[in-house]
Amino acid sequence: MKTPTALLFLSIFSVSTAWSQSAKQGPLPDVPDISVPGTRIAETEFAFKFNFQNRYNGFGIRNSPNLPEAPAEFDDKGRPKFLDGAEGLAFLQSLAGQLLHSKQYDDLDRLFEDARDPNALTASGTWKLRAIYRGTLPDFDAKTDPSALLAERLKWKEHSPRSAEAALSEVDYWYGYAWYARGSGYANTVTEDGWRLMRERLLTAHDRLIKSAAVASASPEFYRLHIDLGGAMGAPKDRILDAFREAVKKFPTYYVLYSVTARSLMPKWGGSWEMLDDFAKEAIELSRKTEGASFYARIYMTIAGEQREYTDIFRDTRASWPLVKQGFEDMQARYPYSAANRNSEASFACRADDKSAYIAARLRMGNKIESNVWIGAYSLDLCDHKFPPAPI
C-alpha cells in the first residue's frame, strides 16, 4: 500500500518548544465484565446497567417549540439516543477499556469494525469510534509501569494483526509516552532531558505509524495520529493542512480530523485566529453535503473547551455568530435528541448576546445540563439571569 505523501513530514520535523501537554481524560466508572456479541447488544446492556435510559427518559419540559417526543432507545437511523454528552462518551470509553484489560480482543475488534462505519454516531452526531478508541489509550502516571502498558497493547496487536486500531495502539503509546516525558508545564519549564526523551519517543511513534500504514490506514485514527505527530514535531502549518486535506478525502465527516487541525492553528501553537477561522470556513465546504455548517460551530466548540475561561470566543477570535448559529441549527435538524448540543447552542447564544436564540435553545435544553459546557464567565446561572427563559 502506498504510504500517504504527507508522511514525508519527518524530513522537516523539529520538536516545537511551544507545544503543551494534551488534556488527560478523567477516571471512568467501573463496568461489568461481559462478552460483547455485537455493538448494539453491548450498548443496550451497558446502557441499562448505567441507567442511561432512565436518566435520559424525557426532556423535562413539555409544550416547548420544536420539541421532539421523548426518545425511544434508538432513533429511526439506529443511533443510540442514550449516548450523548460527556457521560455517553465515558460509557463508550469504559466499554473499550474493559474489553482491552480483560483481553477480550475479538469482541474489541468487532466493536471497532462496527464503529468505523460513518453512520455509527452518538446522539450528538460524533463518531462513536473516537470515544471507543480513547478507551484504549494508556494513562501514564508515577504508579504505572510504562512497560506494562506497552506489553498490554503488543498482546492485542499480536492477537489481531489485521486490526487497524490494535496497530495504532502501539503508535499512540509512544505518542503519549513522549508527552509524559515532556510534562504538563509551560515550555520554559521543560528540561533538556525532557525535550530529548520527547523527541526520541515521537520519532519512535512516527516510525511505528509508517510501518503500520498498510493495516492502520483503514481507520481515520491513523490520519488523526499523523496530524497530531505533525503538530508535536513542529511541522509547518501548510504541511499540517496538506495532511488534513489528504485525510478528509477518505474520511470527510470524521470530526476529530478537523478538531486536531484546528487546535494546531491556534495562536499559542504558532497559528493565528485568522488562520483558524479560514480553516473553519473551509470545513463547512468540505462537510456541507452531510453536516451543513455544523462543523464551523463544532470547531469553535472545540476551541471554547480548549481555552475555557481564557478566551472570549466572540471578542478574542474571528468567530462569526451568524455562521456558528447556522451551524447549531444544522446540528439540531440532523441530531434532534442531543442535550449536549443544545447546551452548547445556549452557551454560545449567551456569549453572542443573542437573547432570542438563548431562550429558544434554553427551552430545548430543559433540565438536561452538561456542566462542562458552562465555564468561565458564562455560567448557566449568569446566562439564565441575563436572559430569563419562560417558565419550564
Q: Which pLDDT value is given to residue 390? A: 60
Question: Average pLDDT for residues 96-101, to the nearest whole number?
Answer: 94
Residue range of the domain that includes 335: 301-392
Confidence check: pLDDT of 383 > 90: yes
CB 306 within 8 A of CB 266: yes
Q: Which pLDDT value is given to residue 77? A: 73
Main-chain phi, psi angles of 71, to 5 degrees? -70, 145
Residue for cell digits 516545537? Answer: 16
Q: Is residue 97 in some structural domain?
A: no
Q: Which pLDDT value is given to residue 391? A: 53
CB 59 within 8 A of CB 70: yes
Q: Is residue 234 in some structural domain?
A: no
Q: Is residue 359 in some structural domain?
A: yes
Indicate the pTM of the whole model: 0.82
8-34 per-position pLDDT tens digit = 444 333 333 333 333 233 332 333 333
Q: Is residue 169 in some structural domain?
A: no
Q: Which pLDDT value is given to residue 67? A: 38
Confidence check: pLDDT of 56 > 90: no
Cell readout for 36 is 460483547
What is d(CA 108, CA 163) in angstroms, rounded to the nearest whole number? 10
Confidence check: pLDDT of 46 > 80: no
Question: Average pLDDT for residues 191-206, to the nearest whole number?
Answer: 96
134-145 per-position pLDDT tens digit = 999 999 998 989
Question: Average pLDDT for residues 198-226, to the nearest whole number?
Answer: 97
102-127 per-position pLDDT tens digit = 999 999 999 999 999 999 999 999 99
| In the chain, % of residues over pLDDT 90 | 66
Q: Is residue 266 in some structural domain?
A: no
Q: Which pLDDT value is given to residue 269? A: 87
- What is the domain count for the chain? 1
Question: Average pLDDT for residues 280-284, to the nearest whole number?
Answer: 98
Confidence check: pLDDT of 201 > 90: yes
Q: Is residue 202 in some structural domain?
A: no
Cell readout for 233 is 514535531
Question: Average pLDDT for residues 313-330, to the nearest whole number?
Answer: 97
The confidence band for 186, taking pLDDT boundaries of 50, 70 and 90, is: confident
- How many other β-carbons are positioned within 10 Å of the β-carbon of residue 54? 11
The three-class DSSP label of residue 320 is coil
147-185 per-position pLDDT tens digit = 999 999 999 999 999 999 999 999 999 999 999 999 888
The mean-pLDDT minimum among 83-97, 201-215, 255-269 falls in: 83-97
Q: Is residue 321 in some structural domain?
A: yes
CB burial of 173-207 (b: ≥16 within 10 Å; e: otherwise) equals: bbbbbbbbbbeeeeeeebeeebeebbbebbbbbbe
What is d(CA 362, CA 344) in angstroms, rounded to the nearest whole number? 10
Q: Is residue 174 in some structural domain?
A: no
Q: What is the mean pLDDT of the chain?
A: 83
The confidence band for 377, taking pLDDT boundaries of 50, 70 and 90, is: confident
Confidence check: pLDDT of 130 > 50: yes
β partners of residue 80: 74
Say which residue, 5 or 269, is predicted with more confidence.
269
Say which residue, 82 or 350, is predicted with more confidence.
350
| In the chain, % of residues over pLDDT 70 | 81
Say which residue, 62 or 188, is predicted with more confidence.
188
What is d(CA 8, CA 273) in angstroms, rounded to the nearest whole number? 27
68-88 per-position pLDDT tens digit = 444 457 777 777 777 888 888
The confidence band for 53, taking pLDDT boundaries of 50, 70 and 90, is: very low
What is the C-alpha R_g of the chain? 21
